[in-house]
């Protein structure tokens, strides 16, 4: 079984006893090396690294497809490859992105 599936099953197991509409709120520190990367959560710009935010996950046992057990974090910085990670409640409270410079050929032809 893939690790991602195991994590989801563990989270579901923790939340099964919760009432419908349970909300899990967590503090999160997002950092990058180098600092100053723009941070997006689920496609929305939320700030620049280092960034401390409070985020949430939801579980609705009556409507599992309406539950939010995963957030998507992306960081972008000019001259560096963008990075995207799936974020689960178990990943809290810190996430660090180590950015890699774009190669010169991509920068010369203008693609990002």
Vertex 23 angle, CA 55 and 72, to 5°: 40
Q: What is the mean pLDDT of residues 49-71?
A: 80
* 81 C-beta neighbours (distance < 10 Å), count: 14
Q: What CATH topology corresponds to 3-102?
A: Immunoglobulin-like (2.60.40)
Distance from C-alpha of 108 to C-alpha of 79, rounded to nearest angstrom: 11
| Domain range list for the chain | 3-102
Question: Whole-number mean pLDDT of the chain?
Answer: 78
* 45 C-beta neighbours (distance < 10 Å), count: 11
pLDDT digits (tens, 9 = 90+) for 32-53: 999 999 999 999 999 999 999 9
What band does 81 get if pLDDT is binned at 50, 70 and 90? very high
In terms of Cα–Cα distance, which of 98, 90, 93 is closest to 4? Answer: 90
pLDDT of residue 37: 97
What band does 61 get if pLDDT is binned at 50, 70 and 90? confident
């Amino acid at each position: 079984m893939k690790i991602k599936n195991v994590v989801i099953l563990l989270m579901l197991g923790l939340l099964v006893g919760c009432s419908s509409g349970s909300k899990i709120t967590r503090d999160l520190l997002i950092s990058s090396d180098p600092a100053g990367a723009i941070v997006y959560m689920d496609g929305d710009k939320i700030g620049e690294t280092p960034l401390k935010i409070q985020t949430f996950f939801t579980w609705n046992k009556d409507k599992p497809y309406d539950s939010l057990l995963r957030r998507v974090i992306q960081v972008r910085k000019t001259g560096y490859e963008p990075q995207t990670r799936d974020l689960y409640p178990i990943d809290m409270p810190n996430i660090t992105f180590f950015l890699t410079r774009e190669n010169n050929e991509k920068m010369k032809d203008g693609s990002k």
